[in-house]
Amino acid sequence: MTDTESDTADEQDEKALEDVYRERNLLACALAVATDAPSGRKPAPDAGDEWAIVWIETPMGQVSWHVPADLAESIGTMQRDSDYSGYSREQKNDVLAS
């Protein structure tokens, strides 16, 4: 494989990863809006102005995702009877797996 072919493959991999994250971000925001579950969004204090946290209360516990702030803002005001409680990715994934 030449350097040019390698660069193209790397660019394709990066584009595929960007697509996966965009779909994940859209799904997180759609779930927060579409369900009647307590949910909300707020600026991400650990990630500057570019990111926000979107969370949803599920029967198993709260789950959240960091998403681009402009995407979170596009879903409008939506805090419904819930505050963000904070937890690790592993804890969130345990909630989703239960």
Instruction: Estimate to the nearest angstrom the gap between the alpha carbon of 79 and the chain centroid.
Output: 16
Q: Is 36 helix (H, G, I), strand (E, B) or coil?
A: coil
Give the residue, 10 or 55, on which the prediction is more confident: 55
5 bridge partner residues = none
Model confidence, pTM: 0.70
Do 41 and 72 meet the contact criterion of CB atoms below 8 Å apart? yes
Concatenating the DSSP letter of every residue in 39-86 gives EEEEE-TTSGGGEEEEEEEETTEEEEEEEEHHHHHHT-----S-----
User: Mean pLDDT lowest for which of 53-57, 69-73, 84-88?
Assistant: 84-88
